[in-house]
Amino acid sequence: MSALDILPDFSRASSFDEMRDSYYRAAKTLITEYQILFNERRWPIEAIELYVYHPIHWRDCTTHGVRYWADEQLDRGTWYVHRKGTPSPDRCGIDITAGSKEAGIFCGLLIAGIGDTKGSSSALKRMIRSDSNNFDDSRWSDEERKLLDEVNAKSIDKGKLRLERYPSSRSTPLYLCERRLSAPHIPAPFKNEPLRIAAQRWRCSQDAIVFS
């Protein structure tokens, strides 16, 4: 089964509860059955957050499609490098898209942690910079920007950066908590909804619950 087949299809949902449940199923599968492959290096996916704007059921203002007019989030099954890599490395990240042009749904499943790194920006830096000595540099180099361009809007099944299925599923406990949003203007429903799934408790808030 391709990774494309397990992505949530929010265009079919009749409520936010349906959207959330389909996201939970997809995120669990991605964390336990898939790893990220880039330039022959592999990393387990350790945390995912959902960002979705549905014009009827869930108008999340933090979704890049409406916040930054990121049309990439209307796609499905591609990588979305945040704002095409224009932010600094410490403010950048990467999503798996699960949107719908026809339904006007913007969606990104944020890769919020891989391997031993913590946070979405560190995840992207680990992919692009691997084990180089410039992991903490505050600017992308020209060569790194070229790599980001080669990844952005490309299929999650093909290319330099792609998802690869494990030979057998990982056996790991999963934890559920709210996303890490600090801006005071974000409405409470979007800030408090548990839309972060992680494979270790330390990647979640203190009130995280075990996800089954």
The Cα angle at residue 40 between residues 71 and 204, in degrees rounded to 5? 60
At 167, list the tokens. Answer: 């030979």
Q: Has residue 1 got a pLDDT over 80?
A: no
pLDDT tens digits, one per residue of 151-201: 999 999 988 999 999 999 999 999 999 998 888 889 999 999 999 999 999
Q: Has residue 212 got a pLDDT over 80?
A: no
pLDDT value of position 37: 97
pLDDT tens digits, one per residue of 36-72: 999 889 999 999 999 999 999 999 999 999 999 999 9
Q: What are φ and ψ of residue 65, in 5° steps?
A: -60, -35
Give which of 82, 71, 75 is closest to 49, Cα–Cα.
82
Which residues 6+ apart lie within 8 Å of 167 measured at CB? none
Rounded to an integer, the average pLDDT of 28-39 is 96
pLDDT tens digits, one per residue of 59-115: 999 999 999 999 999 999 999 999 988 999 999 999 999 999 999 999 999 999 999
Q: Has residue 206 got a pLDDT over 90?
A: no
pLDDT value of position 122: 95
Pairwise pLDDT comparison (1 vs 98), residue with the higher score: 98
Q: What are φ and ψ of residue 199, in 5° steps?
A: -90, -5
pLDDT value of position 131: 66
Task: Report CA-CA distances (Å) from 206 to 29, 115, 144, 160, 210.
Answer: 24, 21, 35, 36, 12
Confidence of residue 130 (pLDDT cuts 50, 70, 90): confident
Distance separating the N- and C-terminal Cα atoms of the chain: 22
pLDDT value of position 85: 86
- Helix-strand-coil percent breakdown of the chain, rounded to 5? 30, 30, 40
This prediction's pTM: 0.96
Q: Has residue 137 got a pLDDT over 90?
A: yes
